Chains A and B, each alone.
Chain A
Amino acid sequence: MRLIILEDASVVADWAARFVLQRITEFAPGPGRRFVLGLPTGGTPLGMYRRLIDFYKEGRVSFKYVTTFNMDEYVGLPRDHPESYHYYMWNEFFKHIDIDPAHAHVLDGNAPNLVAECKRFEDLIAEAGGVRLFIGGIGPDGHIAFNEPGSSLVSRTRVKTLAYDTLEANKRFFGNDISKVPRQALTVGVGTVMDAKEVMILITGVHKALALAKAVEEGVNHMWTVSAFQQHAQALFVCDEDATLELRVKTVKYFKALSGEHQKMIASVPVLQQHVLH
């Protein structure tokens, strides 16, 4: 596992976007050769999407041969509801780039058979040859996607009932009315993300500091589901200074000392060579 500590949220956004740019460029996608990318929603990755849009507009990257899979979606929320993840992905990313709509996959929380929808999603990932890079954010309680505390660390895509804390945290997006917050969501499992060749987790802000400490410094624990990625061969945590506040000084110093190596990851060092860097 690598921990990359950067100055603030905007540097994290830029770094993450450059990392995606590097991975896609290196892969050189084309007809019959698609780069498969897993994507999150929420406040943390917003800056990364904006940078990626800039890169696209500057002609530095194309998403024509990129296939995307989103992590999660609410159940029963209309697709064009401003809080739906379809809406988010369309407005914050998809409409600005050249992605092929047939290859931008978001779980359908309005599918008549939700279990079948989850199965379909897993099958699609498998058909696409697995996810090459999965990007995620985490919640203050250390959840990744909607894999809330106590979720199985080998879980697959499924329907989840949301914890009261999550409803409470999300009600601000639904007119402060907790009864309007969808109670269920479809989400990829921890196992689904673990299967990706590479995983990049973005963590910014003081309110995520405890979750980062639990994820990095303590053992693998289903109460902090993101800690599962300690066991991933190519996991990358990218955080800002604020998010390190609960880490030990030793931990921070150790990873900061490696920052020179980390910068190579967004330079044009071939991926295979990078994997032996640390």
Chain B
Amino acid sequence: MKAKSGLTRFHNCYILRNSKIIKEDLWIRDGKIVNPEQVFYVEQVEADVTVNCENSLIAPGFIDIQNNGGWGVDFSYDSENVEEGVQKVAKALLAHGVTSFCPTMVTSDKEKYSKILPRIQKHQGSQLGASILGVHLEGPFISLAKKGAHKDEYIQNPEKGLESIHEVYGSLDNVIIVTLAPELPGALEAIKGLTSLGIKVALGHSSASLAQGEEGIKCGANLITHLFNAMLPFHHRDPGLVGLLASTTEKQVYYGIISDGIHTHPAALRIACRTNPDGLILVSDAVAAQGLADGNYRIGPQSVNVENGRAYITGTKVLCGSTTALDECVKTLKEATDCSLEYALETASLHPAKALGIDHIKGKLNFGHDADFVIIHPKLMKVLSTWIAGECVYKSS
């Protein structure tokens, strides 16, 4: 099943291409998807390896743009064995069809950023783990009123725009997304500065009115972080950030949503999905307890009790974050919204790729794209195998 450089043909399969599931073979070579018609007529060669997929479905690999950790690792807390921790999660994500992700750090003190951030580098995936597209920094430039689980003492304003950002984070080389609140003093300048560096800005943990949100979008932001959570609830006279789904800004606004069946009510999922179908991005927003067996754990500063796969703060029924991986979220979205399977899969692949501006290489099974894909049982929606750059990196037993 290993095919790093040879011409490999996956046949007896259905593939998701151009938003449709079609009966078609997938041809790959040197880590890329190739056009078999060109291979046939121009190169006149046959496949070196043929893989019989037994009628399973091939979809682009999932891209998780918000993931705080898992399997006991907390990206924002563990500053000792950072590389090891990230690798552990990256590897475990392969079983969930995730081929690329953005390790996410929540609001932390400056010291944590200087210790952790330089050590989470952008990295091409392999059998060792999913690709790291860059770090998603969520906070500390957020609204105190909408801090959610973030710690007050570190929250601050980006008063000097990009300069404040640099002061807190240090080098931005490893960063791909920054979540901030657009209504804060200096936030618009910060958005302009960050996007001019090619970093995507997501609006979130914010009390912004719709007008403030639109200003943020005009300044360059193109994402909303976990829609509905940590923002003003929808109000008909000022719909707040939620209103961005239907506002008249010219560009497509993308929004992350946690469809784990707990964090967002199915009706809310349907509202978002019907209002702005092209912008919906599934995120796991998973925490360190993701993937842990039932039991008691100490994760970072917290005592956590995992019961039936859900993580509670010990002794309470307070959920301490999502523990659902993206493959499960795809399933939940489909069930909750009755959307097509094509659409559900694209919300975890094409949409995040578009939001990050990498849809010319990832998120699709088009010719020339990276051969990052997942082979799924079409009925059970179970991940059978995961491939990165044409290499099988996970196979279910």
Contacts and interface: CB of A to CB of B under 8 A. Distances in A.
B342 interface: no
Contacts of B44: 101-102
A87 B40 CA distance: 11
A167 interface: no
Interface string B32-57: 00011111110111100000000000
A104 B40 contact: yes
Nearest to A102: B44
Contact residues on B (Cβ < 8 Å of other chain), bracket: 10 to 19
A90 interface: yes
Nearest to B46: A101
Nearest to B43: A101
A90 B41 contact: yes
Interface in A100-125: 100-102, 104, 106
A263 B41 CA distance: 37
Nearest to A86: B41
B366 to A, nearest CB: 12
Nearest to B367: A80
A87 B25 CA distance: 15
A160 interface: no
Contact residues on A (Cβ < 8 Å of other chain), bracket: 10 to 19
Contacts of A100: 46
Interface string B126-170: 000000000000000000000000000000000000000000000
Given A79-B41, A90-B41, A106-B41, A95 B46 contact: no
Contact of B45 (A80, A91, A101): A101
Interface string A258-274: 00000000000000000
B37 A79 contact: yes
A56 interface: no
Identify which of A80, A90, A100, A101 gathers the most chain B CB atoms within 10 Å of its CB.
A101
Given A80-B35, A100-B46, A101-B46, A95 B25 contact: yes
Contacts of B43: 101
A94 interface: yes
Interface in B44-74: 44-46
Nearest to B35: A80
Identify which of B36, B38, B41, B45 gathers the most chain A CB atoms within 10 Å of its CB.
B41
Interface string A74-106: 000001100000110011001100001110101
Contacts of B46: 100-101
B38 to A, nearest CB: 7
Interface string B70-86: 00000000000000000
A219 to B, nearest CB: 40
A94 B40 contact: yes
A90 B37 contact: yes
Contact of A95 (B38, B40, B45): B40
A80 B40 contact: no
A130 to B, nearest CB: 22
A121 to B, nearest CB: 14
B125 to A, nearest CB: 30
Interface string B9-36: 0000000000000000100000000011
A102 B35 CA distance: 17
Nearest to A90: B37
A106 B37 CA distance: 13
A246 B212 CA distance: 76
A87 B41 CA distance: 10
A67 to B, nearest CB: 13
B209 to A, nearest CB: 47
A86 B38 CA distance: 10
Contact of A86 (B25, B36, B37, B39): B37
Contacts of A102: 44
Nearest to A79: B41
B3 to A, nearest CB: 19
A95 B41 contact: no
Contacts of A80: 35, 37-38
Given A100-B46, A101-B44, A101-B45, A95 B36 contact: yes
A102 B38 CA distance: 13
Contacts of B41: 79, 86, 90, 101, 106
Interface of A: 79-80, 86-87, 90-91, 94-95, 100-102, 104, 106
9 contacts: A80-B35, A90-B36, A90-B41, A95-B37, A95-B40, A100-B46, A101-B39, A101-B43, A101-B45
Given A94-B40, A100-B46, A101-B44, 13 more contacts: A79-B37, A79-B38, A79-B41, A80-B35, A80-B37, A80-B38, A86-B37, A90-B41, A91-B37, A95-B36, A95-B40, A101-B41, A101-B45
Pairs of residues from A and B, 4 with the lowest C-beta to C-beta distance, nearest first:
A101-B44, A102-B44, A90-B37, A101-B40
